[in-house]
């Protein structure tokens, strides 16, 4: 990274980590000035006593109700239903419980509450502009209680989809006010998450660390958090993949995930780029989980970056605990380390083992090139659609 100076404008929510810290939820709500919170969760998480009961107890008298209606599709109608439940329960804050889907739905619901926009109006905006308007002023605060490791928590963006006439509409919202006001990471809740779900989500979080290091808009601040996070993840994720959920493993996995995303999503932009652009192209419209898509493509994407630019391979090698002994050997060692972590998490290593048809690779390649995250790619790395298709073929 050249010494060109930097600007780092970041307003994260309060981060709370520790065993049984979900018991502090009532205090965290009070700290952000909230009186009654609606819990927003998935259909499974929101009806699983081992997850919901500690949250209910932690909220105490500040619990307004539980909306257990989100799904991985993150439908805008779910956000509208959550907003309606919020009003019906006289809530003034959201608690997003579970994975990134619940948090994204809660963020869009918060925007709908603030604007008073109807579902049909919001769907029209999503179809027309690919987003949902966010009104001026304050939004209802969100307290995030993650149970996966995707690293979508300390973020000012949210993805959302809709459906009209059998066609899926995709878009998102972006606003600094969407940053959760507080985030509570409790290892006890992560232990309730199925192993396959937890391991797949971990690949998403791990990739955020890789991308932040080589992003053209990275800063020394994000370097510090991302590199430290990668050190923890490179130690904790293989153990997690082996089935360990002891205190040390979960500490490394959870705290590592907190660190790699800390500063990665800011009002002025994000450090996510190549791998996430591939992930969007591979997962949209196909029955492919984001973590699986990331697992297949990450080693190939990183290798393609290294084939063109330095990609800060030395810094990545140090964080991942590998030593190549020279530029080419270091690049190989980093790529192999990424593949080793993918394999340890039990994720697929070939596109042919997913639901993606080979004949769709050209269209996917164009979608990757056009993705909104690609402008954050390393300086000097400017792949064409043909170049991206060649990477996809190597991953096939």
Q: Which long-range contacts (CB under 8 A, 24 or more apart) does 125-130 make?
A: 126/76, 126/160, 126/162, 126/169, 126/171, 127/162, 127/164, 127/169, 129/171, 130/169, 130/170, 130/171, 130/172
CATH number, residue 386: 1.20.1090.10
Using pLDDT thresholds of 50, 70 and 90, give the confidence band for residue 3: low
CA gap 108, 83 in Å, rounded: 9
Torsion of CA 303, 304, 306, 307, to 10 degrees: 120
Q: Is residue 8, in this structure, part of any structural domain at all?
A: no
Q: Report the SS3 class of residue 344.
A: helix
Using only the alpha carbons of the chain, give its radius of gyration: 20
Using pLDDT thresholds of 50, 70 and 90, give the confidence band for residue 290: confident
Using pLDDT thresholds of 50, 70 and 90, give the confidence band for residue 216: very high
Q: Is residue 4, in this structure, part of any structural domain at all?
A: no
Domain final residue, candidates 163, 190, 217: 190
pLDDT in tens, 126-179: 999 999 999 988 999 999 999 999 998 999 999 999 999 888 898 999 999 999
Q: Is residue 5, in this structure, part of any structural domain at all?
A: no
Same domain, yes or no, for 302 and 364? yes
Domain interval for residue 27: 14-190
pLDDT of residue 1: 47
Is pLDDT of 4 > 80?
no
Is pLDDT of 297 > 70?
yes
CA gap 160, 280 in Å, rounded: 13
Domain final residue, candidates 190, 215, 250: 190
CA gap 350, 393 in Å, rounded: 10
Q: Report the SS3 class of residue 142.
A: strand
CA gap 396, 390 in Å, rounded: 10
**Lateral strand order in the sheet of 182-185:** 14-17, 182-185, 142-146, 93-98, 37-42, 63-70
Same domain, yes or no, for 110 and 218? no
pTM as predicted: 0.95
Same domain, yes or no, for 141 and 206? no
Same domain, yes or no, for 35 and 77? yes
pLDDT average, residue stretch 213-228: 96
Same domain, yes or no, for 335 and 364? yes
Q: Report the SS3 class of residue 316.
A: helix
CA gap 99, 146 in Å, rounded: 6
Q: Is residue 181, in this structure, part of any structural domain at all?
A: yes
Residues 6+ apart with CB under 8 A from 74: 101, 104, 105, 158, 159, 160, 161
Same domain, yes or no, for 185 and 211? no
pLDDT in tens, 174-198: 999 999 999 999 999 999 999 999 9
pLDDT average, residue stretch 83-104: 97
Angle at 162 between CA 193 and CA 84, to 5 degrees: 75
Domain final residue, candidates 164, 190, 216: 190
pLDDT of residue 2: 52
* Strand locations in the chain (E): 14-17, 37-42, 63-70, 93-98, 142-146, 157-164, 167-174, 182-185, 265-266, 269-270
Q: Which two tokens stand for residue 193?
A: 């998450």
- The total domain count for the chain is 2
Q: Is residue 7, in this structure, part of any structural domain at all?
A: no
């Amino acid at each position: 990274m050249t010494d060109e100076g930097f600007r780092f404008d970041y307003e994260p929510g309060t981060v709370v980590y520790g065993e049984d810290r979900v018991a502090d939820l009532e205090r965290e709500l009070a700290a952000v000035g909230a009186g009654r919170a609606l819990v927003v969760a998935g259909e499974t998480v929101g009806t699983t006593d081992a997850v919901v009961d500690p949250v209910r107890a932690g909220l105490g008298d500040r619990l307004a109700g539980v909306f257990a209606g989100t799904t991985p599709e993150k439908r805008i109608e779910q956000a509208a239903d959550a907003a309606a439940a919020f009003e019906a329960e006289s809530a003034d804050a959201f608690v997003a419980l579970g994975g990134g889907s619940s948090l994204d739905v809660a963020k869009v619901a918060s925007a709908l509450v603030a604007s008073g926009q109807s579902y049909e109006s919001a769907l029209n905006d999503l179809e027309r502009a690919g987003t949902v308007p966010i009104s001026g002023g304050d939004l209802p605060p969100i307290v995030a209680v993650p149970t996966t490791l995707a690293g979508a928590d300390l973020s000012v963006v949210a993805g959302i989809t809709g459906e009209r006439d059998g066609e899926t509409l995709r878009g998102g919202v972006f606003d600094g006010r969407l940053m959760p006001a507080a985030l509570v990471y409790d290892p006890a809740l992560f232990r309730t998450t199925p192993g396959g779900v937890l391991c797949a989500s971990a690949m998403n979080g791990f990739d955020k660390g890789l991308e932040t290091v080589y992003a053209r808009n990275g800063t020394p601040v994000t370097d510090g958090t991302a590199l430290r996070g990668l050190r923890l993840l490179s130690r904790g994720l293989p153990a997690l993949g082996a089935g360990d959920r002891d205190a040390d493993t979960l500490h490394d996995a959870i705290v590592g995930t907190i660190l790699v995303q800390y500063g990665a999503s800011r009002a002025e932009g994000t450090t996510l780029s190549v791998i996430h652009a591939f992930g969007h192209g591979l997962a949209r419209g196909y029955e492919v989980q984001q973590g699986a898509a990331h697992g297949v493509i990450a080693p190939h994407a990183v290798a393609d970056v290294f084939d063109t630019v330095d990609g800060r391979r030395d810094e990545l090698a140090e964080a991942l605990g590998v030593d190549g002994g020279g530029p080419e050997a270091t690049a190989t060692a980093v790529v192999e380390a990424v593949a080793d972590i993918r394999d340890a998490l039990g994720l697929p290593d070939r596109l042919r083992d997913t639901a993606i048809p080979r004949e769709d690779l050209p269209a996917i390649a164009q979608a990757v090139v056009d993705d909104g995250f690609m402008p954050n790619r390393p300086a000097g790395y400017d792949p064409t659609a043909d170049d991206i298709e060649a990477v996809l073929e190597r991953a096939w």
